[in-house]
């Protein structure tokens, strides 16, 4: 039911900004007829869209999952959760994140937020029901490591650069197609506004798919680092045990950015946000 949260939001922002570039700017007499102009505007809007998504990420994550932040622990389980995150955050030398529980039967958790001082660690009810204390501690350490490594900002930067090239290359290709059509037409007419705009949208979708593949490659590399961070905080055996527990669990329900910053990701090869659990376990055993 939930759409892709981070990459989906970025793609929507790219489309909206594409509308702005092609409709609003010309309406104010701003023409973008040269390559340098396209690149500058694409950079501004591409990076801007990514960091808007990053700034909105924590609130969007709470709404998307129904996560309830633990303001004051009411149960022994909530108290353990908050105290464990506080201890791990201190060990990783980061400010205390918000801690939340969200209603979901699958074993999962995620970290998000605009920066280390404004972060969130959330765990599913399924994780608390189905993992031992040591396994849950390792998962929490993994999420804290994401925050300590600055992964949210890193992925926003990567996505911003990719957005820039999606916006830029789509317009360059559309301009080339427009020029080719104009030369081949007896009237010397190009694609026209609608044809040009339709070409831009198609190219943004094509380049957006390629950008998604690249972003997920970065995400998989970053996942190994978070596993190693967990191992340094609580020990590799605990993290290995947590990953082995995940091998027998159902597919996670998180989407988008939440998958990328969760403990367990969907396994879809090029579009996978996480390496396979076996690869992650092997990497931990080699530490």
Report the DSSP beta bridge partners of residue 115.
Answer: 118
Active site residue 143: yes
Task: Considering the candidates 98, 135, 143, 253, report the single residue annotated as catalytic.
Answer: 143
- Specify whether the backbone of 269 is left (phi greater than 0), alpha (psi in -120 to 50) or beta: left
Nearest to 65 by CA among 223, 236, 259, 201: 259
Q: Which helix (H) or strand (E) holds 115?
A: strand 109-115
The answer to whether residues 108 and 263 touch, using CB atoms and an 8 Å cutoff, is yes
If phi > 0 it is left, if psi is from -120 to 50 it is alpha, else beta; for residue 95 that is: beta
List alpha helices for the chain, DSSP H: 6-19, 25-27, 35-65, 76-92, 125-130, 133-148, 151-184, 192-234, 236-247, 256-260, 277-285
d(CA 67, CA 75): 17
The residue count for the chain: 287
How far apart, in Å, are the Cα atoms of 233 and each of 79, 99, 137, 274, 283? 20, 18, 10, 21, 16
* Cα distance between residue 279 and residue 257, in whole Å: 21
Which residues are identified as catalytic?
143
């Amino acid at each position: 039911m939930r759409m892709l949260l981070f990459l989906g939001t970025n793609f929507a922002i790219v489309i909206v900004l594409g509308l702005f570039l092609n409709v609003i700017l010309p309406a104010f007499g701003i023409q973008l007829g040269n390559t340098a102009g396209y690149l500058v505007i694409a950079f501004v809007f591409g990076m801007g869209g990514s960091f808007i998504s990053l700034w909105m990420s924590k609130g969007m994550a709470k709404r998307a999952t129904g996560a309830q932040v633990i303001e004051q622990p009411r149960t022994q389980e909530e108290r353990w959760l908050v105290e464990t995150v506080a201890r791990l955050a201190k060990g990783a030398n980061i400010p205390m994140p918000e801690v939340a529980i969200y209603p979901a039967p699958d074993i999962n958790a995620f970290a998000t937020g605009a920066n280390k001082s404004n972060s969130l660690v959330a765990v599913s009810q399924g994780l608390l029901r189905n993992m031992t204390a040591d396994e849950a501690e390792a998962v929490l350490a993994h999420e804290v490591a994401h925050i300590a490594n600055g992964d949210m900002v890193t992925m926003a930067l990567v996505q911003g650069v990719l957005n820039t090239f999606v916006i830029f290359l789509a317009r360059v290709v559309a301009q080339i197609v427009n020029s080719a059509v104009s030369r081949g037409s007896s009237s010397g007419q190009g694609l026209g506004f609608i044809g040009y705009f339709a070409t831009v949208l198609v190219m943004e979708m094509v380049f957006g798919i390629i950008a998604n593949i690249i972003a997920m490659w970065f995400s998989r590399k970053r996942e190994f680092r978070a596993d190693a961070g967990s191992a340094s905080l609580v020990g590799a055996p605990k993290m290995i045990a947590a990953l082995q527990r995940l091998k027998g669990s159902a597919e996670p329900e998180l989407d988008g950015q939440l998958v990328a910053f969760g403990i367990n990701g969907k396994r879809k090869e090029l579009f996978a946000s996480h390496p396979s659990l076996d690869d992650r376990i092997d990497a931990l055993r080699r530490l």
